[in-house]
Structure 1
């Protein structure tokens, strides 16, 4: 027994001795160096992700990517924690008992890496910009720490190569700071990091608003020509000069307008030369329209006459020609990309006059400086090092410290070159080059310049938006229950909770058929939008089906017609463009009800209330039904009952049965449904909540946002609501 106790005590003592040894090794200089290097590498990777994912949000609405972007914004894994790691690492470098020339190298390039990114990742939309008000104070504190670290290492470095390395990074840091300061001074943006939050946006939009209040009176007195753009003196670029002088905006030689772009005699913009498809001129048109759309974010509005003129431009210009819907969508797509950059990136600052040259100089110097620093580091560490110097090396004598430094600077170089490339082919650069071409007649006669500008302007490296329709099927997802381990009272403080029945279906591509159908109904309306009854009248079925357009809320209308469409999709499924349009738009509007109700006419809470109620109804009525066929049969039974129950499920089943009984065949049924959903899609587009649409620009964009931009320009409004029945009684309908 005693031997057993003695053996156990020896094991305990041995374990305590080993633990003590491990604890001591954690406080050695090498352990501290490993700790610092790990933080440096981690921070560099976070900054790389910050640069990569900063622009992906508006192009992809994938769930996994959305979670990463959410984490990067809400939890601060990209900006807040990166900044914290930099400050914390600088503090550790100050407190170490040993010195290495690579400390100032790592510190300098992490700070420069963090600040040189041109775009900021955003997920929560405009609210993400509020916390950046302390940006400059944080940067000032980092500069003080870095300056102290650099001065300390210059005094203590024992080798000439070490001093040269430190002086090299000091020079890079100093040039970077000077260029950053010059950019702030030139752009006059020192008071705000982003124009979306600054006084400058208010002032620039005020200029455009005042100008547009009378543009329709001072332009060509003849009827405007939306094909040749005669009479459309919409500003493209040049109002900056008026802005600086503080005088009202006037059209001078320094101001480029839409009519000047279309009237340009150069071969690059000629319809028989370098711009046969009109895509280059349309970039300038998109930029001009973006300036008008941005008025909504500063509570400015246009007079009715200006909206009428814009509607003429859209209807008789963009949509008039063959495949005009593709051109209209492309113009609005680029317009919204400009709006995204205005609200979430520094592009409006960078592409101000003179400032973009400073940015190009900055990026080139950083690339050259980072490569020169790698050479200095290798030269320094190839010399005989002091025996007592703390460093990490492989068994073959290869310095891990220098390898880490080379990796960080190589990543930094690729990021800077990538930013330089994407900056050169950005829509902002294209507008700048095209406007410069319009203003410089000497370029018109040259051959190389038009070819170079044309090559840049036709480069499309990335699609600006996701170009998909998110989908939701009530009959497929009503039984979904979110996992309790992820969605509960504890996690509610950290993530948005999912409700029962809230499960997306596979997204559908935004097809040409859908765009054509929706833009067709946009063309048909006379300025006042209806929620589907106009299409029913055209198909001569309004007498039978219009009751389902007159429910208490628009959310109810969408759900009832969605249920009816689901029934028809199961009973009379065909391979037809109308089937594609109706089914995809039905599920898309159902998706908006559940996932983005703020983009629809009703109050979001009302939509959530209606949706929760229909989920409860569907679970009760379809209990025990597992297959799609069983659910449809149950719905048809419910639709044939004669009770007066006020139920959206019953109304949807009754409407579905009425559609099946139309008697003119499946093709006609899907024609009615396709035209109804296309009209309803246009009907829900107008919105006074511009911020809600701006929020969704960072998550892949929504098709309804593209329509919102179009109807905003046209000044379209929904028809006044008629007296609606309440949920306490069924809507009147024919038997």
Structure 2
């Protein structure tokens, strides 16, 4: 026994000595160097993720991707401070992601803070390099890279400034003042088919100056005339308008030439409409006559064949420009001198990287045999290898970014405007026209996710999130997921849905109704309109959602016409239920009122359907309740009673699916107007929402929502 204890004691001492030795090894200079190199690699990976997946935010609503990009965006700036040897390069690359300049709108308001942070960091790195010794060769590298850092940082800071509240107000004033009287320039003589009289600005060659000197010159020239306190914009050759784009006689933009489907001209139209939509974010408004003129334009887009597809394509691209203006550096890059600075950045980065790699290999040969040096079996220093690989990868990343920018929608607008302003391009350069046309028709990625996210109350009410992750203690760090808050599988945004919603928008734009207009057209308003006159919009949506779910599970769909209506009704029913559950800020009710009502509905539904495991069992229980219980004000009971009414309708399932499809399409349009522009902008970075596309359309048309009849 004593021998056994002695052996165990010896083994324990040996383990303790080994652990102590490991801890000592972790504190050696070589281990510290390894830790720094590990941090460099981690930071580099995070920055590469921003470059690769930054533009994916507007095409994907995957929560894991958003968390990954947020972590990369947040951690990369902090890790830079701990990797001093490579800090100067990492600062360059942190400002390199043109498709991910900010994570949220709040970041835009901290543009000064961003500039000061990087000025301090860059100064600190330079001081450290001088303290640890610097050679003439290193000075040449630092000079080149020292030019690159201010370019990168200033570009990012300016992009934040432009996207900030002050920047938006300043940059939209010219368009706002111009649009306040643009509708008067055509004297009522405008034609959207030819865009005659539509002098909407696409590109301004040079923004008018508002300096004191310039204002004094104008005041002197205008002596004796009434003062004008608005910025003026004269339509000269330096200004490209929609009318000029449509009047262009070059082969590339002619309807009978290279633009038969008007896709190229529509790129410019989307860009001009994006400029008008920006007015909403800066507190500017348009006069009623301007909205009426825009509505005529939207009607023209819809009236051409399958016009709902064209109208949706135009607004889809318009929101793509809006996303870029908030969350990327494209508005800076495509300023008149932006491309030149971008090319200069790329050249400086390539030259600086090559010089740095050469310097690293020289450093490796001078330190050969150093005991602090981590080396490969071939004698190559690990830190040299890591540095060279990172520089090569990031240089390739910059080249890839440059390629994507060349085919971006901003580049297409710039090319098309230059084409309109350059007669020689229209007459003598057929190959150039074909090249521009090929570039402008190339779409590397879809602008948006093009999905309708779904939620089914009867399928998800019993969902309970993990308490270890979602609880009152974690609310300070992450958004809580509530009971019953579980998404269903998203569905594709089908052409049937777009057609039904756009048709509803065009049918009754003057006064949007809360679904009652469609019921009146189908002569069922006397029976069903009570469900449109509930206390809140949240209750209306959930009641009709429950009724639609009951009808969906009880009535099979056979003929193609009914299937089209079935697809519209069920998709929009679950989409609006999703908006209530996950995006209440995009709907008419106060967001917290919607959250509170939803929580109450979940509690009521759980109590009523306790023990029912399958959807079929839940529907059966609701049907039994509907036969025995009167309307007691509970949403789940009201939805059941409405579902019973639908099932008892004498005209049959085909008619009811038509009623439901038209009702949900009308309700979708009814909830679209909103004064919460910020909420729509925030959702642009999460794959976009169909309701945001409708919001943009009704905003242009100046369509308002009538309060529901109680």
Normalised by the shorter chain, which TM-score bucket?
over 0.9
Instruction: Give the SS at the match of 1:241.
Output: coil
In 2 relative to 1, CA 47–192 (structure 1 residues): closer, same or farther, beyond 3 Å?
Answer: closer
Q: 2:472: which partner in 1?
A: 489
Q: 1:54: which partner in 2?
A: 54
In the alignment, which of 184, 194, 203 is matched to residue 237 of structure 1? 203
Instruction: Give the SS at the match of 2:452.
Output: strand
For structure 1, the residue ranges without an aligned partner over 5 or more in a row are: 91-102, 158-162, 725-735
- CA shift for structure 1 position 522: 0.8
Separation of aligned partners in 1, 2:432 and 2:132? 49
- CA shift for structure 1 position 167: 4.2
Q: 2:693: which partner in 1?
A: 706
Q: 1:172: which partner in 2?
A: 144
Superposition pairs of residues 436-451 of structure 1, within 5 angstroms? 436-445=418-427, 446-451=429-434
The reply on whether 1:301 has 2:285 as its aligned counterpart is: yes
- CA shift for structure 1 position 248: 1.6
Q: 1:579: which partner in 2?
A: 566
Superposition pairs of residues 113-128 of structure 1, within 5 angstroms? 113-120=93-100, 122-123=102-103, 125-128=104-107
Instruction: Give the SS at the match of 1:360.
Output: helix
Contact 1:342 1:348 in 2 (8 A): yes
Q: 2:91: which partner in 1?
A: 111
In the alignment, which of 384, 388, 391 is matched to residue 409 of structure 1? 391
- CA shift for structure 1 position 388: 3.4
Separation of aligned partners in 2, 1:571 and 1:697? 37
Separation of aligned partners in 1, 2:43 and 2:179? 48
- CA shift for structure 1 position 467: 0.7
Q: 2:343: which partner in 1?
A: 360
Q: 1:199: which partner in 2?
A: 166
In the alignment, which of 457, 461, 479 is matched to residue 444 of structure 2? 461
Superposition pairs of residues 90-489 of structure 1, within 5 angstroms? 90=84, 103=85, 106-120=86-100, 122-123=102-103, 125-152=104-131, 155=134, 164=137, 166-167=138-139, 169-177=141-149, 179-180=151-152, 193-197=160-164, 199-218=166-185, 220-238=186-204, 240-243=206-209, 247-315=231-299, 317-371=300-354, 373-375=356-358, 377-378=360-361, 381=364, 383=365, 385-388=367-370, 390-445=372-427, 446-489=429-472
- CA shift for structure 1 position 14: 3.5
Contact 1:194 1:344 in 2 (8 A): no
Q: 2:498: which partner in 1?
A: 515
CA deviations on 1:336-393 (whole Å, 9 max, x unpaired) are: 1111111122211221111222112212432354345435544654x46454363222
- CA shift for structure 1 position 9: 5.3
CA deviations on 1:213-271 (whole Å, 9 max, x unpaired) are: 111111x2353111110010011110642256675222111111110110011111111
Instruction: Give the SS at the match of 2:534.
Output: coil
Higher mean C-alpha displacement, 594-603 vs 190-199: 190-199
Higher mean C-alpha displacement, 195-204 vs 368-377: 368-377
Instruction: Give the SS at the match of 1:78.
Output: helix
Superposition pairs of residues 601-680 of structure 1, within 5 angstroms? 601-680=588-667
Instruction: Give the SS at the match of 1:528.
Output: coil
Q: 1:727: which partner in 2?
A: none
Separation of aligned partners in 2, 1:504 and 1:716? 31
CA deviations on 1:91-117 (whole Å, 9 max, x unpaired) are: xxxxxxxxxxxx4xx333212111222
Separation of aligned partners in 2, 1:89 and 1:122? 23
CA deviations on 1:495-542 (whole Å, 9 max, x unpaired) are: 121211111000000011100000011111142101111111111211
Q: 1:67: which partner in 2?
A: 67
Separation of aligned partners in 1, 2:370 and 2:7? 41
In 2 relative to 1, CA 271–450 (structure 1 residues): closer, same or farther, beyond 3 Å?
Answer: same
Separation of aligned partners in 2, 1:25 and 1:527? 77
After superposing on structure 2, the runs of 4+ consecutive aligned residues of structure 1 that deviate more than 6 Å are 189-192
Q: 2:227: which partner in 1?
A: none
- CA shift for structure 1 position 153: 5.7
In 2 relative to 1, CA 694–142 (structure 1 residues): closer, same or farther, beyond 3 Å?
Answer: same
Q: 1:94: which partner in 2?
A: none
Separation of aligned partners in 1, 2:347 and 2:470? 48
Contact 1:370 1:409 in 2 (8 A): yes
- CA shift for structure 1 position 310: 0.4
In 2 relative to 1, CA 473–434 (structure 1 residues): closer, same or farther, beyond 3 Å?
Answer: same
Separation of aligned partners in 2, 1:283 and 1:47? 31
- CA shift for structure 1 position 2: 6.7
Contact 2:168 2:281 in 1 (8 A): no
Instruction: Give the SS at the match of 2:336.
Output: coil
CA deviations on 1:110-152 (whole Å, 9 max, x unpaired) are: 12111222133655x3123334541111111221122224445
For structure 2, the residue ranges without an aligned partner over 5 or more in a row are: 216-230
Q: 2:41: which partner in 1?
A: 41
Q: 1:544: which partner in 2?
A: 527
TM-score, normalized by length of structure 2?
Answer: 0.92
Instruction: Give the SS at the match of 1:482.
Output: coil
Higher mean C-alpha displacement, 611-620 vs 584-593: 611-620
Contact 1:474 1:563 in 2 (8 A): yes
Aligned residue pairs total 687
Instruction: Give the SS at the match of 2:244.
Output: helix
CA deviations on 1:456-510 (whole Å, 9 max, x unpaired) are: 2111111111110000001101111112222122222221212111110000000
Contact 1:150 1:170 in 2 (8 A): no
Separation of aligned partners in 1, 2:152 and 2:678? 30
- CA shift for structure 1 position 4: 6.1
Separation of aligned partners in 2, 1:237 and 1:291? 10
Separation of aligned partners in 2, 1:605 and 1:714? 29
